[in-house]
Structure 1
């Protein structure tokens, strides 16, 4: 009897926990398509119920708005990393009745035996400035910097944003800056979704077309030249009896920008490692007890928002108590993130104690923090290492060999070989004819070299770009092959994606800002590629994206991915001139 009661209690507890977890997953929220708007425009108001089927919806009172449409009902299901979720959405299209801060009240719905509430929402409604709106252009291009004052080596995010009120059907970037004075890294993880913004009394759809991380390499006033783009928009020309649709080509360009860059403050700390930005340190020691015959291995991982290539080796322990050998750099890479470029660099140090004792080691990295504008040291871990005396026979093997230059020495004078003759005629000497014919040979060589240079200059630049593209792709795939041999999935997929994008960039003269799966597909179709080739590119690039950003970097598909990348480049060269 007791066992039956215990089993029933356990079953009730499990069911209760499961129902509670289900209720925790159910949400009901109100959403607005924009936080601010003009009094003569519209806004979408949505009520979204997730992970449930709802009944008895009680919509709010739209007393401050005119309901132009709605409610419209839509349903959908999404699966992310194997976890599914559903949503039920009711949407209204509203127009405000007046200016000011307007409120939309609370909404309720019944789901899974409970009543859920969606909080009230507020929206700022602005007056229309007819004069300013008349002067504002319908479309414009703007390059926006995260900051226009920085230190040498500080990360600056540049977003290329298009503001549009028209129906844009094409974009062609004609010119982009060369970023002289910066180290530039293109970003892929930026938000390219359209956003509604108000500029100069007009509402625009703002879309980020491309994003770069810039690292100044010198101080002073550094100029960034304009981007130039041709926009294709749909227009209508009305005649007396019909309306004719046509495409208008609109040239746009950004303003010239300047970044004011200053040197790092002086004096710099003696242990300054060169990093500029915001960094974190992770340290691992392979032991906590050792003898003077052993070497301690310290693996130090530096990550942060900054250029990790600027970080030099630094002493992780006191040179008074330890012999420090040159570290091995196990990894150095840039990782894209929604907030900017993240750098990661892994050092592996070998340090040998000079004497026995108990040591408290706190390896630290000294860098320049741009937020506080001062030098800081990050030393997150302290290791207690106990060292006892050894036998004098090292247990480690560290290559400390150096290349020794041979000293200059005089050779002994040797006697002339037998049979050497003197007094022969100059014309009978081979040296005479070499000297005599040398000007003629040089002249002929110069003429041949000039003709060869003329041939190079007269080559078709497009054809030359194709040759360079194929060669560059082969070189980039060599890096991928190295990571393939070492079974390193993440660096491998990054190298494959970089090789494919680099090849297509040179093949179709794509600017960095337009390197995306969608643009690649459009360029291939425009060049006459078969749908099968376009689909293969999309599949390969999608596989790389899933490996790099969705955690699906299995080592099982590396060989197939490498083979597919090589075959794609070869087939593209054969199919597209």
Structure 2
């Protein structure tokens, strides 16, 4: 009877736990979001869409926001969709319910779209507030300019802009650099000959490097643009003065409707032909004025600039002698935490210290680097006792306060008990003395019994006396000649690069071939581009910064290469640049470009 009750109770509890798990899982996968453009033009009609995504339950009680500052022209229009997927035998069904409003901004300025709410099952979900900015600028065209009438010349609305988070900083203060492309009506189909800025005088880290360029609306100087983020960097100034960031540039491939001569037809808009033109855009250089840190930094300053916290402690408050333990110091905060050095720690003489180990947990975003640094100081105490260690101090420069701040861990105490020595090779802390020991054979007496033997032939006057010095001189001369040639060969850096160009290119082509077989489109073209650029740089003995089309053609012509080979090299470089920003074109095109690269390198090498 009792066993039966236990069995029933167990099944009921398992079923309840399974039901609770399913409810929690479904609840965790439900969401309710709002989608609206960040920037609109006054009197522009646009849509605001609220979307509920769920796997189970029922959607009800939708409460829209007040739409204050916006005129609702239509809505809500409700729609429902369902998607099904099966991954590794695990099937799932996702439902989507959306509510769409057609609205218009009533006046210029920023409008806050209040949260909307909906009930999914028994839970209520709300959207995050969104800010919509209305300006008087013209609405950017999502495609190319319409045919006919007066239109802007192709590419005149393009702008490459490099912005910085600040133009004045101190040494070590993080500066965020953002590179964006702005466009209003031009239709961009790709990019080529991209040159990103160099950061002389800065320690730099790339934060964002989008593989797929996406355009979003942005208000710039009162005009609405479609902007795309190309790169975002974090810079840490390493020297003082006016540091200039060189311009960045790229070539945009624009799709332009071909001009037609003669009478027009009503079908021209449906069967128009387009041509691709190239437009080079360049950003303006940016200057950042970097000041030195104030004088009089404490001895515990290790280069930290920002806002930090300090904590320190032993793995255990007590340990036995001859057992390994460690002191851990954790520095957390925001700033140039990437470049912070380990604080100085003075351990007692009875502690056998080892190299410091450093562990990083850092994330870098638009506000700089944030995270923690953990420094571990391993050691082995060799004597028992209670040891008080001086507080660990860490000084950093507080940007907001404009002064140095010193953090202290407070006193640190470690109790070391009696332990057993396990390492016989350990040198004791003191010097032990012992009596002189007689080894019995420490004195060798002079032998009194003569032991004479007949002397051999004298070497003086023999042929060997003449041959051996000559052989030594010849061997020394041969070694000197070989070493001289080896030194000359190693000092010839340009020649070494030239000789190794084919070897390096072959290794990179091998990597590109592996990506080709795996069908990795972006990785293939990235590696193929590196192989060609690296080979040309080594073969022509040119730095990568000087690898322009004109310079490459000039150098190859001076080496007697055919124009057909030079043009074929241009074509494959253009194909690689285009492929890095364009959709995948298939394995056949990848195979063709690979064979073309191998052929070009072979022709230049021959």
TM-score of the two chains, using structure 2 as the length reference: 0.58
Q: Does 1:258 align with 2:279?
A: no
Cα distance in 2, alignment partners of residues 192 and 111 from structure 1: 35
Summarize the Cα distance change of 1:192–1:145 in structure 2 as closer, same or farther, 3 Å threshold.
farther
Q: After superposition, what is the alpha-carbon deviation per residue over 1:358-379, rounded to whole angstroms, capped at 9, x for unaligned? A: 6477544333344444333445
Residue in structure 1 matching 2:196, options 171, 176, 180: 176
Q: Secondary structure at the match of 1:529?
A: helix
Counterpart residue number, 1:37: 40
Output the CA distance in 2 between the equivalents of 1:290 and 1:198: 63
Which among 141, 149, 152 is matched to residue 160 of structure 2?
Answer: 141
Task: Trace 1:381-460 onto structure 2 (pairs within 5 A).
Answer: 384-387=413-416
Cα distance between partner residues in 2 of 1:276 and 1:119: 34
Structure 1 residue aligned with 2:341, among 287, 306, 312? 312
In the alignment, structure 1 residue 203 sits paired with structure 2 residue 224: yes
Q: Which residue of 2 aligns with 1:90?
A: 99
Contact residue 171 and residue 239 of structure 2 kept, 8 A: yes
Cα-to-partner distance string for 1:302-333 (whole Å, 9 max, x where unaligned):
455555664334333x5578757353335568
Query: What does residue range 193-232 of structure 1 map to in structure 2 within 5 Å?
Result: 194-232=215-253
Q: Which structure is larger by alpha-carbon Rg, 1 or 2?
A: 2
Note the 1:454-493 alignment, pairs <5 A.
463=502, 466=505, 469=508
- Relative distance call for 1:500 and 1:337 in structure 2 (3 A) is farther
Q: CA deviation at 1:342?
A: 5.4
| Structure 2 residue aligned with 1:328 | 356
Residue aligning to 2:564 = none
Superposition pairs for residues 124-135 of structure 1, below 5 Å?
Answer: 124-128=133-137
Q: 1:213 & 1:397 partners in 2: Cα distance? A: 52
Deviations 1:406-426 (A, max 9, x none): xxxxxxxxxxxx7568xxxxx
Report the CA distance shift for 1:259/1:420 in structure 2 as closer, same or farther (over 3 A). Answer: farther
- Paired with 2:424 and 2:216, the residues of 1 have a C-alpha distance of 60
**What corresponds to 1:249 in structure 2?**
278
User: Cα deviation per residue 1:143-202 (whole Å; 9 max; x = unaligned)?
Assistant: 222322223233322222112223322122432233221222223487975432111332
Pairs aligned (count): 478
Give 1:54's match in structure 2, choosing from 39, 53, 59: 59
Stretches of structure 2 lacking an aligned partner (at least 5 in a row): 140-151, 428-457, 462-467, 513-522, 535-543, 546-575
* Residue 271, structure 1, aligned to residue 280, structure 2: no
Q: Which residue of structure 2 lines up, in the alignment, with residue 412 of structure 1?
A: none
Question: In structure 2, how many angstroms separate the alpha carbons of the residues matched to 1:306 and 1:137?
Answer: 40
Partner residue, 2:205: 185
Aligned partners of 1:119 and 1:341: how far apart in 2? 26
Residue in 2 that maps onto 1:233: 254
Q: Which moved more, 1:503-512 or 1:304-313?
A: 503-512
- The alignment partner of 1:214 has SS state of strand
1:271 Cα offset (Å): 1.8
Corresponding residue for residue 367 of structure 1: 396
TM-score of the superposition, structure 1-length normalised? 0.61
Contact 2:242 2:289 (C-alpha < 8 Å) held by counterparts? yes
In the aligned structure 2, how far is the partner of 1:123 from the partner of 1:155? Answer: 30
- Give yes or no for the alignment of 1:152 onto 2:209: no
In the alignment, is residue 519 of structure 1 matched against residue 519 of structure 2?
Answer: no
CA distance in 2: counterparts of 1:15 and 1:360, whole angstroms:
55
Q: CA deviation at 1:255?
A: 0.8
Preserved CA contact (<8 Å) 1:110 1:116: yes
C-alpha separation in 2, matches of 1:366 and 1:324: 27
SS at match of 1:177: coil
SS at match of 2:505: helix
Unaligned stretches of 5+ residues in structure 1? 401-417, 422-427, 474-498, 535-571
1:28, CA displacement in angstroms?
4.6
Q: Does 1:506 align with 2:530?
A: yes
